[in-house]
Structure 1
Amino acid sequence: MTFEQLTGHEDPHPIYEQVRALGPLVRDSGMWATTSHSLSNKILRNQRFGVRYSDGTYPGGGLLPESFLETDPPDHTRLRRLAMPAFSPKKIDEYRTRVEKVAESLLDADEFDLIADFAAPLPIAVISDLLGIPDSDTAEFADYGALVAASFDSGVTPEMAHANDKVLELFERLIAERRARPGDDVISSLVAAEAEKKLTAQEVMGTLVLLLVAGFETTVNLIGNGTRALLDHPAQWALFKANPGLAPDVVEETLRWAAPVQMTSRIAHEQVGEIGKDELVNIIIGAANRDPDVYPEAHRFDVMRVQKPEHLAFSSGIHYCLGATLARMEGDVAFRALARRMPDLKQAGPVTFRDSVVIRGLKSFPVSRS
């Protein structure tokens, strides 16, 4: 099995199961791979593994400026701590009213594309508020942000490189404005931290782009994957509509059953068992979340499932997703709104899938109110 086989698959799990049959830790194309929930969680939480090689170099690269997602301690700890206040429980509660209003405003059409017209605009509106993007810039910000995020699928195209430049230009302008007139937003707090020498100008930019892309990617795919799962499982959809308080359970089962991020990797900083120093381990989150040793009937979508242990959709350990609480809240609001406003929602045409190994999501999902 090579990871290229997974690209564009509607359902990668048959391939994951081929890997699982080879054992909890296997060699793949010169790298290690694991489908085991237990082993994945141990590696993600083990401080002997990191995201960089032992000499400090990073194996990736490309369009986006580096952020704390691509760093190990102590830089990771320092930068993550500076971004954390934006995701405090109090802040998330403040965002909820805004999310509910946006969700309601997006559900007026009889026929629409669930991704382009609902799942994508919703988190972009929240991220725009969080970052303090002016209303006059929000539409352009959303378009460019989506293009930058799409670089995960098919690499960097001229159009995406242009979008990246535009996003950076917007952030540079907003950073300059916040230096002159600070506000109550993430950009202002990071600019203040930069003035206190707690991070560099480049680290400010990297953090902002990470919050844009991560805030968009996880939520749009959570909403799309969850809605499709509900419509494909009519009994589960009916159960949820009759019991809207199950929205958090729909969110968790979607994250387990169709994780927006299917794969991540860690690098051993020293010899760890069979894994040599500076060898890379691909952690197949999508497979770990359906590990039959952990979840009974793991391939069944069941909103009443007991989610123990927790799925790995938000990773684990020090790189656990900073915006997990926000994404969960947005998914909760989105699913409740769909069930309330469109109880007879139906798929209205064929879906198309993201062309990605790492991201699992839909490019388009035509639906109708009835």
Structure 2
Amino acid sequence: MDLQIKARTHWLLGYGLARGVLKRLARRGDPFARLLVDSSRPEDAYRLAEQIRGRGRISAGFSNTWVTADAQIVRDVLRDDRFRTIKPADRSPFRIIRWLVARTDPDMMNPVEPPSLLVVDPPEHARLRRLVSRAFTPRAIDGLHQRIVDITNTALDDLDGQTQCDLITAYAARIPIEVIAEMLAVPREEIPLLHAFADPAAKLLTTTVPAWDDFRTAATALREFEIYIAAHIERLRRSGADNSILSAVLQDDDLTVDEVRMFTGLILGAGFITTTHAFGNAVVALLAHPDQLARLRAQPEGWPNAVEETLRYDSVAQIGVRVATEAVQIDGSTVAEGEALFVLIAGANRDPALFERPDEFDSARPNTREHLSFSSGIHVCLGASLARLELNIGLEALFRRFPALALAGTPTLNGSTLLRGFKHLPVALGAAAAGAG
């Protein structure tokens, strides 16, 4: 079968049919469908999540699906081994379509399809996670601390003398992409290539049902990335002298070539895109609450807790999906075997049963670290500690260097229903603080 036809058939059966159903339901005003395909503004997402919460701790969705914004249920489901991750074939109730989805696999590094660690289930998940977790051990992260400080200070130095900038491209994206380049031993001059691959490929991470044009663009970028990373890995194998985390992973013979490539792609997507979004979301939240910034300037030891509150208040990860492997009773409802349960992570982070005054931003909130922005259970984010370190260093340094930082226009959202963040964040920098470098 022609590759283009194969890819389009795979998209149509694995994503397109479900997308059509959701769009029709969204036009009819269904809050759950709107949340999945039409929640382009943060206020819409949280308002729709509250409407869903009003239906009960768990409620029926569409076509034999369920949905919950209850923090305790979300946490329990993410930790429950009776649930597995969703695959494209799960989006159809018909066996023939599920068979065709598997037969038309376009054979590309899709971050939301196996062998991606995001969607592989036990026992294979445990093997892959154990092998790649070495990249995120406390020792490995500690080893990156000074480099993050150096990258941050260099990025801030480059902003000195400017009056305005797009903070996403000039700062928020720069820190994580340069850290990822260090982890993957990518030469500095090749970092623009990582941007070129990551931006279009992210479309598969940012929506449950990507449009065909987005799927096709992402597929092209992912295939180009596969070619690049295969050559890069071979270069590292030949040199044998590199001390990067990727080089350490390459020493393990238990990882196949495809698994190593998927590992690098996942680090790029999850480690760069999500952290960039977290930076942008945090800056917008902090600028909207000058009283909290004043508190942090007076008590800088409060920054770690403030970072957790930014992650809770406007979570990058908005929605997760799990599929029941057997009938599961939840709060009086039965999720049947094979049925999908959508867990509203951002909604759980605003659950009044867990967080007092959840719609308020409070940098000193005592239990804010109970948020679920990094998921929970076996699929808890491997890079959570790295993201926290980058955010703590990057945010504190930014507001220390530019204390008069302010919005210089309306931030532009990425329009994502799964990973929410800003594409553009215009800011006025103000004068740099003396001696803040």
Length-normalised TM-score, structure 1: 0.93
Residue in 2 that maps onto 1:37: 71
Corresponding residue for 2:352? 292
Partner of 1:241: 297
Change (3 A) 1:19 1:129: same
Matched, 1:26 2:56: no
2:222 maps to 1:164: yes
When residues 137 and 126 of structure 1 are mapped into structure 2, their CA distance, relative to the original with a 3 A threshold, is same
Contact 1:124-1:216 within 8 A present in 2 as well: yes
Which of 72, 79, 84 aligns to 1:50? It is: 84
Alpha-carbon separation, structure 2, partners of 1:112 and 1:283: 36
TM-fit CA distance, 1:150:
3.8
Task: Report the residue type matching 1:353 in the other structure.
Answer: L
Report the Cα offset of residue 57 of structure 1.
6.2
Which 10-residue stretch deviates more, 100-109 or 350-359? Answer: 100-109
CA distance in 2, matches of 1:117, 1:18: 37
Q: 1:211 aligns with which of 237, 246, 267?
A: 267
What is the aligned partner in structure 1 of residue 428 from structure 2?
368
Q: What are the superposed Cα offsets for residues 113-138 of structure 1, whole Å, 9 maximum, x if unpaired?
A: 11111111110000110111112211
In the TM superposition, what whole-angstrom CA distance separates every residue of 1:92-117 from its partner, at most 9, and x where no partner exists?
Answer: 12212111121222222321111111
**Comparing 37-46 with 184-193, which one deviates more in the overlay?**
184-193
- From 256, 262, 286, give the equivalent of 1:230: 286
The 1-side partners of 2:304 and 2:367 are apart by: 11
Aligned to 1:75: 124
Task: State the structure with bigger RCO (CA 8 A, min sep 6), 1 or 2.
Answer: 1
Range with greater deviation from structure 2 (74-83 or 3-12): 3-12
Question: What code does the residue aligned with 1:185 have?
Answer: S
Equivalent residue of 2:66, what SS? strand
User: What's 2:414 paired with?
Assistant: 354
Any gaps of 5 or more consecutive residues in structure 2?
1-30, 92-100, 431-437
Q: Do 1:226 and 1:250's aligned partners in 2 also have CA atoms closer than 8 Å?
A: no
2-structure distance, mates of 1:90, 1:116: 29
1:101 aligns with 2:101: no
Superposed, 1:127-276 pairs within 5 Å as 127-153=180-206, 155=211, 156=214, 158-182=216-240, 183-193=242-252, 196=253, 198-273=254-329, 274-276=334-336
SS of the counterpart of 1:68?
A: coil
3-state SS in 1 of match to 2:234: helix
Letter in 2 for 1:9: R
- Structure 1 stretch 352-361 or stretch 103-112: which is displaced more? 103-112
Paired AA for residue 102 in structure 1 = I
Q: Structure 2: how far apart are the matches of 1:25 and 1:46?
A: 16
Structure-2 separation of matches of 1:338 and 1:233? 16
The Cα shift of 1:356 comes to 1.1
Question: 1:344 is matched by which residue type in structure 2?
Answer: A
For residue 68 of structure 1, what is the amino acid of its counterpart?
A: L
Contact 1:244/1:339 (CA < 8 Å) preserved in 2?
A: no
SS of residue matched to 2:320:
strand
Question: Contact 1:58–1:70 (CA<8 Å) still a contact in 2?
Answer: no
Q: Quote the Cα distance in structure 1 between the aligned partners of 2:154 and 2:247.
A: 29
2:39 corresponds in structure 1 to 7
Q: CA RMSD in A?
A: 2.0
> Residues of 1 paired with 2:74 and 2:320: CA distance?
10
Q: Which moved more, 1:60-69 or 1:19-28?
A: 60-69
Q: Which one-letter code corresponds to 2:81 in the other structure?
A: Q
| C-alpha spacing 1:33/1:201, structure 2 compared with 1 (3 Å) | same
Q: Report the secondary structure of 2:388's partner residue.
A: helix
Greater Cα offset, 86-95 or 296-305 = 86-95
For the structure 1 residues 3 and 98, does the alpha-carbon distance in structure 2 shift closer, same or farther, using more than 3 Å as the test? farther
Q: Percent identity?
A: 33
Q: Does the 8 Å CA contact 2:375/2:381 hold for their aligned counterparts?
A: yes
CA contact (8 A) 2:109 2:226 kept: no
| Separation in structure 2 between the aligned mates of residue 26 and residue 217 of structure 1, nearest angstrom | 31
Following superposition, the deviation at residue 147 of structure 1 comes to 2.6
Structure 1: gaps spanning 5 or more residues: none
1:124 paired to 2:177? yes
For residues 23 and 313 of structure 1, the distance between their equivalents in structure 2, rounded to whole angstroms, comes to 22
Aligned length, in residue pairs: 365
Distance across 1 between alignment mates of 2:239 and 2:343: 44
Mapped contact 1:68–1:75 kept (Cα < 8 A): no
Deviation of residue 278 (structure 1)?
1.0
CA contact 1:32–1:280 (8 Å) conserved in 2 = yes
Q: Is the 8 A contact 1:263 1:358 kept in 2?
A: yes
Structure 1 window deviating more from structure 2 (349-358 vs 142-151): it is 142-151
Change (3 A) 1:22 1:157: closer
1:305 maps onto 2:358 in alignment: no
Whether contact under 8 Å (1:241, 1:343) holds in the other structure is: no
Deviates more, 1:319-328 or 1:92-101: 92-101
SS at match of 1:72: coil
Does the C-alpha gap of structure 1 residues 52 and 284 become closer, same or farther in structure 2, counting only changes over 3 Å?
A: closer
1:52–1:58 Cα contact (<8 Å) kept: yes
- Cα distance in 2 for residues equivalent to 1:49 and 1:352: 36
